[in-house]
Amino acid sequence: MTGWTAEQLASITDNDAFYVAPYRADGTTYGTDTETWALVVGEDVYVRAANGPQSRWYQAAITQRAGRVRVAGQYIDAVFEAAVAENEAAIDAAYEAKYPGSSAVPVMQGEGPKAAVVRISPR
């Protein structure tokens, strides 16, 4: 596993849309791209599932642990890891900084999404 490049982190920071596509159950076919809000905290990338742990993409990411992401038209092979309670306050602050004034920020800071956090790394 490799780390994110400075350019990739900047792209994730600068773009509101970030799509995740964990593998399907066969472990080789990508699932449907699902739009999420990705956040950069330090050199790590985090995504919370708005619908909590029952979210289909979240369940696939945690089960399959791999797939790909798309940001600014670029696909990147990725590894997904559960990260519940990891950097919780920093992730909350990152939502406020990246999406100021959005009514969705309090939703993403709620109990459901906080119980469904994924750290994403390039593969």
Q: Structural domain boundaries of the chain?
A: 6-122
Distances in Å between the Cα of 88 and the Cα atoms of 10, 53, 55, 69, 108 are 21, 16, 19, 22, 11
In this prediction, residue 1 has a pLDDT band, given cuts at 50, 70 and 90, of: low
The Cα–Cα gap between 112 and 49 comes to: 8
Kindly tell me the burial class for residue 97, based on how many C-beta atoms sit within 10 Å of its own C-beta (0-12, 13-18, 19 or more).
exposed
Residue 84: the pLDDT is 87
What CATH number should be reported for the domain whose range is 6-122? 2.30.110.10
Given this model, what pLDDT does residue 94 score? 97
pLDDT at 2: 74
pLDDT at 66: 98
pLDDT in tens, 44-100: 999 999 999 999 999 999 999 999 999 999 999 999 999 988 899 999 999 999 999
Q: How far apart are CA 59 and CA 54, in angstroms?
A: 7
Beta bridge partners of 81: 119
List beta partners, residue 109: none
Would you state the pLDDT for residue 93? Answer: 97
Strands 18-22 and 34-36 come out as antiparallel
User: pTM of the entire structure?
Assistant: 0.95
pLDDT digits (tens, 9 = 90+) for 14-27: 999 999 999 999 99
Q: C-alpha angle 7/88/63, rounded to 5°?
A: 75
